């Protein structure tokens, strides 16, 4: 029983359906695992032990009555703290939201619960998803399960670490410029950034609304597909969700790779990439070739502009989305210490103390690019460039079925290594960022390992698809996963 937490979602689902295991035993195993490794990994901000066990028991009753809600009924899953959870504190790992208990549920969480999923807890992240290492959390630093001296990546670092450490069977994260894919790569798990609008953003605390997407982090491609089947689809509460029907992603994984056209963009292999990482990626591309895929070099000419575009649009939207945390509502406020203060003082001091350095940096950048006299030079231009970036991908997907690139230029870096250098930190997202302004889907799949300080560190490969091309990238990811057959697990 103690090893149940090692199961994949697909395995657990099968065994639950066959009556070999119960959700209660599975959930207990996960909670024991958390108790055991959490002091080292620190992936969770909140573990919902009591409610998880209750939900597991309810799930078992449904199974006994022959009325499971879905394939995932009784499967323990955790979510990033950016997801609003009804009656459960939701902080986005930021002080300014500490103590905030939403009276509503994020649509993605609601869909999971409606499918009978057991909610294990809320996962750590960079505050407001600002960062690539989870060091920007106002509450704790999550460690990489492969090497506890290293970061798990970010901003969905808690989600990636928890999945890698078997502290849940799967997790939800969010991705604005790589926040699912980069930590997935650094922690050796699968992370899917779906097409913009494929999964409802309702109830997920916004970072940059036109770039944010919600997606799964899981131990396998099949698991990611199973979660996607539950959370994807139109939502009347999110006007940007797409109406296209949701495919059965898990049924489209077995197609072989013969004749599949794989594009490798030259711009992504230019410079600054770790040599060992490069080798892992090249080996994976070879693997795809050996599976029958046709490899072609392609060009995404506006790649460097995609970065510039992202670093204007993203802070602009961040500065706007963070306006509602005015130091009067929600968590931290100087009003709690001193009741009578002039309004402006409340704004300045609460926001000044409540937000971390990275949030303030982005608010300042974003406010600047939206200011009168600068709007045309920055924001407007960035919007135009965004169209060109999209066009790059449109053109490329006329020639190839998927595009493969590295996820991160380096494996997991040491805690503290980049925290004083925001530019270095931003550069760790250099291969993932251009995908978000384009809106297309991309997945990070474990591709191999590099060795650092005598420890194996995972490296992921990014597989990018056209709009609503989740089925094809999941298919490629699944086939690559099967062919590579990586068996290593972190030792904790």
Active site amino acids: 80, 155, 179
Return the closest-CA partner of residue 164 out of 248, 43, 318, 276: 43
Written as six digits, the tokens of 73 are 């009924």
Of the two residues 153 and 437, which places its CB atom closer to another protein in the complex?
437
Written as six digits, the tokens of 17 are 């359906």
Of the two residues 318 and 407, which places its CB atom closer to another protein in the complex?
318
Are the beta carbons of 125 and 133 closer than 8 angstroms?
no
Question: Largest Cα–Cα distance of the chain, in whole Å?
Answer: 71
Of the two residues 55 and 317, which places its CB atom closer to another protein in the complex?
317
Work out how close the CB of 383 gets to another protein at its nearest, in angstroms, rounded to a whole number. 8
Written as six digits, the tokens of 19 are 């009556």
Residues lying near another protein in the complex (CB under 8 A) are found at: 82-84, 90, 92, 97, 100, 102-104, 106, 201-206, 208-210, 236-240, 316-317, 319-320, 322-326, 328-330, 340, 343, 347, 367, 370-372, 375, 379, 383
Nearest-angstrom CA–CA distance, 397 and 390:
11
What single string gives the DSSP state of each residue in 347-368? HHHHHHHHS-HHHHHHHHHHHH
Work out how close the CB of 370 gets to another protein at its nearest, in angstroms, rounded to a whole number. 4
Of the two residues 297 and 344, which places its CB atom closer to another protein in the complex?
344
Work out how close the CB of 159 gets to another protein at its nearest, in angstroms, rounded to a whole number. 17
Nearest-angstrom CA–CA distance, 157 and 68:
31
Helix axes 470-484, 275-290, angle to 10 degrees: 100
Work out how close the CB of 138 gets to another protein at its nearest, in angstroms, rounded to a whole number. 15
Strand 213-218 to 170-175 pairing: antiparallel
Written as six digits, the tokens of 101 are 């208990």
Work out how close the CB of 24 gets to another protein at its nearest, in angstroms, rounded to a whole number. 31
> Which segments of 234-356 does DSSP mark as H helices, in order?
275-290, 303-321, 343-354
Of the two residues 163 and 206, which places its CB atom closer to another protein in the complex?
206
How many Å from the N-terminal Cα to the C-terminal Cα in the chain? 18
Of the two residues 129 and 189, which places its CB atom closer to another protein in the complex?
129
């Amino acid at each position: 029983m103690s090893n149940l937490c090692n199961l994949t979602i697909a395995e657990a689902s099968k065994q639950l359906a066959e009556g070999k295991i119960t959700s209660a035993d599975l959930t207990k195993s996960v909670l024991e695992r958390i108790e055991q490794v959490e002091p080292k990994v620190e992936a969770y901000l909140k573990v919902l032990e009591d409610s998880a066990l209750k939900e597991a028991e309810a799930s078992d009753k449904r199974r006994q009555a022959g009325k499971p809600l879905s394939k995932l009924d009784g499967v323990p899953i955790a979510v990033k703290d950016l997801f609003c959870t009804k009656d459960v504190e939701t902080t986005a790992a930021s002080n300014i939201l500490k103590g905030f208990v939403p009276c509503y549920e994020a649509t993605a969480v609601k869909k999971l619960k409606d499918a009978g999923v057991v909610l294990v807890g809320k996962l750590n992240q960079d505050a407001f998803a600002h960062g690539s290492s989870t060091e920007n959390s106002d509450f704790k630093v999550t460690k990489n399960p492969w090497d506890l001296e290293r970061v798990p990546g970010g901003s969905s670092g808690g989600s990636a670490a928890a999945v890698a450490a078997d502290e849940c069977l799967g997790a939800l994260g969010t991705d604005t410029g790589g926040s699912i894919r980069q930590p997935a790569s650094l922690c050796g798990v699968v992370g899917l950034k779906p097409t913009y609008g494929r999964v409802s953003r309702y109830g997920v605390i916004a970072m940059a609304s036109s770039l944010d997407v919600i997606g799964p982090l899981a131990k396998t491609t099949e698991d990611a597909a199973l979660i996607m089947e539950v959370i994807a689809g139109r939502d009347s509460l999110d006007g940007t969700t797409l109406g296209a029907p949701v495919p059965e992603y898990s049924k489209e994984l077995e197609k072989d790779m013969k004749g599949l056209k794989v594009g490798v963009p030259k711009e992504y292999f230019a410079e600054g990439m770790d040599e060992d990482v490069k080798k892992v990626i090249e080996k994976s591309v070879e693997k795809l070739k050996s599976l029958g895929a046709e490899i072609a070099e392609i060009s995404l000419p506006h790649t460097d502009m995609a970065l510039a575009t992202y670093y204007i649009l993203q802070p602009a939207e961040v500065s706007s989305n963070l306006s509602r945390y005015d130091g009067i509502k929600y968590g931290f406020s100087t009003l709690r210490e001193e009741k009578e203060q002039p309004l402006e003082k409340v704004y300045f001091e609460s926001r000044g103390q409540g937000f971390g350095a990275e949030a303030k940096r982005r608010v300042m950048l974003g406010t600047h690019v939206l200011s009168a006299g600068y709007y045309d030079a920055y924001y407007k231009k960035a919007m135009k460039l965004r169209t060109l970036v999209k066009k790059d991908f449109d053109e490329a997907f006329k020639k190839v079925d998927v595009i493969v690139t590295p996820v991160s230029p380096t494996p997991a870096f040491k805690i503290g290594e980049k925290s004083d250098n925001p530019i270095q930190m931003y550069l760790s997202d250099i291969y993932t960022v251009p995908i978000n302004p384009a809106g297309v889907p991309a997945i990070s799949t474990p591709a191999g390992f590099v060795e650092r300080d005598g420890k194996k560190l995972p490296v992921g490969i990014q597989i990018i698809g056209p709009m609503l091309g989740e089925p094809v990238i999941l298919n490629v990811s699944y086939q690559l996963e099967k062919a590579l057959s990586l068996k290593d697990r972190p030792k904790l």
